[in-house]
Amino acid sequence: MELVHAVIFGFVEGASEFLPISSTGHLILTAKLLGLPQTEFLKSFEISIQLGAILAVVVLYWKSFLVDFETLKRVIVAFIPTAVLGFLLYKIIKKVLLSNAGVVLWSLFIGGIFLIVFELWFKEKEAAVNRISEMPFKTAAWIGVAQSFAMIPGVSRSAATIVGGLFLGLERRLIVEFSFLLAVPTMIAATTLDLMKSAHHFSSDQFLFLGVGFIISFFVAIVCIKWLLEYVKNHTFILFGFYRIFIALFFWFVIK
């Protein structure tokens, strides 16, 4: 891995983390395009670099974490299912799933079809919950369960939480923002767990790569968060469903 690769990964992560297209899946496919083998460091890099994008959420929504305790409590409740399953399945996720581009492509393809069908079928209720502080704790817990499916690379954490939230009766902009907030404890926990197990093997150059990817993903994510909030005001996620299908087919039949 070289510094230019860290720059590319930073852009990919920042642009894809909060869109329903799977940032982890895109990082794995980016490595494939660049001809980089899925080494232990690269797997850790693909997990840890997401903290840059997560910091963008903290900067934009710091009041939700430090002032709005009702919101914070619901984020914590939604985080618990993923935390438990992530800890129990850590070895399988890193040793098996993160090195399997085939899993990513199938997840992108099937998820794309599901996203299109869901949006064509789904009709938002007029009485949809439009404030996080009014979200039932049971609903928050089920959103956490939905997010857990994103431990499969290519599923997309944001897609899982957004679709789950819409199905459970939340307003579209609200579940998008809740997905941002839920990403913070989720990715901090995932990165902390991985670094505790792997960081002592990193060289100084590898820590430099992490730093560069972190900074770039932070700034790119800020732009993408603001763009997505404007986009969901008047659009569904059908376009992202077609994009997921296209990417899967592209890698199957063009890149191979």
Residue pLDDT, tens place only, 180-223: 888 888 888 777 777 777 766 677 777 888 888 889 999 999 99
- 16-28: per-residue pLDDT in tens? 988 999 888 888 8
pLDDT at residue 94 greater than cutoff 70: no
Distance CA 18, CA 59 (A): 15
Q: How confident is the model at residue 256 (pLDDT cuts 50, 70, 90)?
A: low
pLDDT at residue 235 greater than cutoff 80: yes
Distance CA 21, CA 170 (A): 21
Angle at 129 between CA 139 and CA 230, to 5 degrees: 110
Structural domain boundaries enclosing 99: 3-255
Per the structure, the count of domains in the chain is 1
**pTM beyond 0.75, yes or no:** yes
* Average per-residue pLDDT for the chain: 85
